[in-house]
Chain A
Amino acid sequence: MNEHLNILDFILLREANVRYVVLGTMLLSVASSVIGCFALLRKRALVVDSISHSVLPGICLGFILSGTKDPLFLIVGAVITGWLSVYFIDIITRYSKIKADTAIGLNLSLFFAIGVLLLTVIQNSGNPNQAGLSDYLFGKAAAIVLSDLYVFGSLAVIIILAVVVFFKQFTLVSFDLHFAKTIGLPIKFYEFLLSILTVIAVAIGIQTVGVVLMAAMLITPAATAKYWTNDLRKMVVIAAVIGALSGVVGVFISYLFANMPTGPWIVLIFSMVAVFSIVFAPEKGIFAKYFRQKKNKKKMLEDNILKAFYKLGEHDGDFFKKRSAEELIMARKFKRSLLLKGLRSLRKLNLLTKVNDSFVLSRDGMAAGARITKIHRLWEIYLTKYLRVADDHVHDDAETIEHIITPDLEKRLEDLLQYPQEDPHNKQIPY
């Protein structure tokens, strides 16, 4: 009974405390997902992981020096050590032969070790204030109270606003550093701004997610959003929406189980959305890619069969003669099973008919075969004439392009070459 009441309380946001937790989580998730997009594009995903482990010693130092769990002190500490780790990675990769991955792993484990060492020292010291400090390891959204919300919330809003205001500059720095340099953008400043905003996002996020899994808060929504759009603006918005919704769902689930840390649940929800997107997203998903490849392969096979018919017809001077599968395999090395499959689908398209065990082109089929052959030969001319490729090197390229050329391009190619009669190998071009 009691549990049902809790669920209702949560959904209706009846308790003030629940409202703070939900609002806080949403703000944090949006801020980290938004800034995470730029970290992802700048290939800093693992640096983010290093930052999130590195804020732990900062939090412990903040606590030791101030003696309280006041979020402001902890965040200042977290930002300092988080930023130091970014700086160290930079120094190590710049002044030694050590590669980025080793530098990241090294920093991550060193800062985390110092953090754990300090944490255990604090725990063993018997300071009564320290209870709850270890919640920063895996996060505890339920611990957000109004005073935290002011601090976290305003920092989250600052991050979001900064991204809105400097969107253009951040985009340039992430995508086209060279161009940004030539137009005189102070790159160093914007790179610094991006890293400090990232560090702040991590520092405020660990309240809900914890240091160990915080990297996922920045990377996973961004990586997921990339599957749904090519437009950076849309990507940032989608990441923010995914971040906010999954964040709240994660908090809700952990709310149902007492003593359950929030971080792992939020991250698990993120991951499920990510896997769904990677597999099923239209255009970019694994399925979409697979079907597109299959469709392309089918089209190429059909084109090649029609071309083989045309070639045989050209040789015999009779385009509508009956051809057996063996003849076609002689003309072009088809795999038998594939050939039969292609012939079947061409029959469905009414491009050829089956007579006993042989196949005959229809009028449309003959025209289609002629078109592919024409494009192939026109392209060979184009390559020899305009790109000055030797005529014994043009065939393979034409084999690829013939399947892709649209009627529009076909027309322009004809106009450009002025309807030549013969290709570089002295074969007639059919129009």
Chain B
Amino acid sequence: MLEDWTVIITACLVAASCSIIGCFLVLRKMAMVGDAISHAVLPGIVIAFMMGGKMGSWYLLVGAAAFGLITTFLIEFFNKKGGVQQDASIGVVFTSLFAIGIILISLYTRNVDLDQECVLYGDLDSVYLELQEPFFGFMIKPTIFQLLVLLLVISTLVIIGFRGLALTTFDPAYAATIGISVMAWHYVLMGAVSISTVISFNSVGAILVVAFLITPAATAYLISSKLIPMILLALLFGVTASFLGYLLAYKINGASSAAIATVLGLQFVVVFILKLFKDKIVLLNRNAGNR
């Protein structure tokens, strides 16, 4: 029973942080840059591991954030200076960095507590096995503690920087004229994506984290384009999918992270179809009214 709740709470925390960040990615048409970053932080994680870092250590955060920013920079560099078309630039950069990460893992597999499959879909179910450690007087599992801090940081960032983030998202030209640095917010957001990916890494892996980032935000976007309702809806979808996904994984005996990501996708499909029907009814009513 406690095991179930540990996994569900962990999943909810990952989903919450990722959904918030994801809304900005979707609105800025940067979903695939987010995807690229989540793959490309892998070498940063492995190098930090090799230098003796543990999951959640400062090494790891710095390494990952650095690689996240390097990715963004490289994509733009090859695109602007090298003349590689945007989509190909994203594809070439993240596959290269991810390949380097996997090679490093394979070469140093004896010294590093990482395996290739864990990289892809994490190990949500193992969070329960972690020993509890004291943080500020509370006994809590380290992964959960890190995720709580992440959620706190992300919410604070979005609340304090709401004006800057929103303006640079919806109207970058206007933001620039009133003196808000579009570039700075861009890199802040990319940094946030990198750090979320790293902290979520051992629970959901580098690839499935993309589902947590993009899918709830996309589902919410179908319902509302306004930022605040969109974020709240994305949170709702993320959290409910964590519950339902865990139940699914339990029923069919599969990986919880993958099951939750699947449910996130199914939520999108359901909302998408309902939206299609609604649009059709609206259209029919309008036609009937015109007659």
Q: B214 near A105 (CB under 8 angstroms)?
A: yes
User: Could you say which residues of chain B place their CB within 8 Å of the CB of A71?
Assistant: none
Q: A113 near B211 (CB under 8 angstroms)?
A: yes
Q: A110 near B252 (CB under 8 angstroms)?
A: no
A110 and B265 CA atoms in complex are apart in Å by: 5
Within the complex, what minimum Cβ distance (angstroms) separates A139 from chain B? 10
Within the complex, what minimum Cβ distance (angstroms) separates B68 from chain A? 16
Q: Using CB atoms and an 8 Å cutoff, list the residues of chain A in contact with chain B.
A: 40, 43-46, 48-49, 53, 92, 95-99, 101-106, 108-110, 112-118, 120-121, 124-125, 134, 137-138, 212-213, 215-216, 219-220, 222-223, 257, 259-261, 263-265, 267-268, 271, 274, 278-279, 284, 286, 289
B21 within 8 A of A: no
A112 and B208 CA atoms in complex are apart in Å by: 8
When each residue 195-235 of chain B gets 1 if its CB lies under 8 Å from chain A and 0 otherwise, what string results?
Answer: 00000000000011011011101100110010000000000
A82 and B258 CA atoms in complex are apart in Å by: 18
Q: B26 near A102 (CB under 8 angstroms)?
A: yes
User: Could you say which residues of chain B place their CB within 8 Å of the CB of A53?
Assistant: 207
Q: A120 near B254 (CB under 8 angstroms)?
A: yes
Q: A120 near B255 (CB under 8 angstroms)?
A: yes
Q: What are 18 A-B pairs at a CB distance below 8 A?
A: A40-B85, A46-B32, A95-B272, A99-B31, A101-B32, A102-B29, A102-B214, A102-B218, A113-B261, A113-B265, A116-B254, A116-B261, A121-B252, A121-B253, A137-B116, A213-B99, A261-B116, A286-B82
User: Could you say which residues of chain A place their CB within 8 Å of the CB of B91?
Assistant: 45-46, 48-49, 215-216, 219-220, 223
Q: A264 near B103 (CB under 8 angstroms)?
A: yes
Of A99, A114, A118, A264, the residue contacting B99 (CB under 8 A) is: A264
A265 and B99 CA atoms in complex are apart in Å by: 7
When each residue 58-99 of chain B gets 1 if its CB lies under 8 Å from chain A and 0 otherwise, what string results?
Answer: 000000000000000000001001111101101110011011
Q: A109 near B99 (CB under 8 angstroms)?
A: no
User: Could you say which residues of chain A place their CB within 8 Å of the CB of B214?
Assistant: 102, 105-106, 109
Of A103, A109, A138, the residue contacting B211 (CB under 8 A) is: A109
User: Could you say which residues of chain B place their CB within 8 Å of the CB of A101?
Assistant: 29-32
Q: A45 near B258 (CB under 8 angstroms)?
A: no
Q: B82 near A216 (CB under 8 angstroms)?
A: no
When each residue 271-283 of chain B gets 1 if its CB lies under 8 Å from chain A and 0 otherwise, what string results?
Answer: 0100110000000
Within the complex, what minimum Cβ distance (angstroms) separates A260 from chain B? 5
Q: A104 near B31 (CB under 8 angstroms)?
A: yes
B180 within 8 A of A: no
Q: Is the interface of A mostly helix, strand, loop or mixed?
A: helix
A272 closest partner in B (C-beta):
B96
User: Could you say which residues of chain B place their CB within 8 Å of the CB of A215?
Assistant: 91, 95
Residue from A223, A259, A284 with most neighbouring chain B CB atoms (10 Å): A223
B117 within 8 A of A: yes
Known: A112-B208, A220-B92. A117 touches B32 (CB 8 A): no
A212 and B116 CA atoms in complex are apart in Å by: 11
Q: B262 near A263 (CB under 8 angstroms)?
A: no
A94 and B87 CA atoms in complex are apart in Å by: 20
When each residue 224-267 of chain B gets 1 if its CB lies under 8 Å from chain A and 0 otherwise, what string results?
Answer: 01000000000000000000000001001111011101101100
A386 and B256 CA atoms in complex are apart in Å by: 73
Within the complex, what minimum Cβ distance (angstroms) separates B89 from chain A? 8
User: Could you say which residues of chain A place their CB within 8 Å of the CB of B117?
Assistant: 134, 137
Q: B259 near A117 (CB under 8 angstroms)?
A: yes
A44 closest partner in B (C-beta):
B87
A113 and B264 CA atoms in complex are apart in Å by: 10
Q: B262 near A113 (CB under 8 angstroms)?
A: yes
A96 and B106 CA atoms in complex are apart in Å by: 42
Known: A213-B98, A271-B96. A117 touches B262 (CB 8 A): yes
Q: B32 near A104 (CB under 8 angstroms)?
A: yes
B225 closest partner in A (C-beta):
A97
Q: B116 near A274 (CB under 8 angstroms)?
A: no
User: Could you say which residues of chain A place their CB within 8 Å of the CB of B78?
Assistant: 278
B120 within 8 A of A: yes
B100 within 8 A of A: yes
Known: A96-B272, A113-B211, A124-B254. A261 touches B90 (CB 8 A): no
A236 and B255 CA atoms in complex are apart in Å by: 41
User: Could you say which residues of chain B place their CB within 8 Å of the CB of A278?
Assistant: 78, 82, 84
A105 and B35 CA atoms in complex are apart in Å by: 7
A299 and B268 CA atoms in complex are apart in Å by: 59
Within the complex, what minimum Cβ distance (angstroms) separates B26 from chain A? 5
Of B35, B88, B255, the residue contacting A108 (CB under 8 A) is: B35
A134 and B107 CA atoms in complex are apart in Å by: 19
B114 within 8 A of A: no
Known: A96-B275, A113-B265, A278-B78. A212 touches B207 (CB 8 A): yes
User: Could you say which residues of chain A place their CB within 8 Å of the CB of B32?
Assistant: 46, 101, 104-105
Within the complex, what minimum Cβ distance (angstroms) separates B87 from chain A? 4
B102 within 8 A of A: yes
User: Could you say which residues of chain B place their CB within 8 Å of the CB of A274?
Assistant: 92, 96
A87 and B98 CA atoms in complex are apart in Å by: 27
A-facing residues in B21-50 (Cβ within 8 Å): 26, 29-32, 34-35
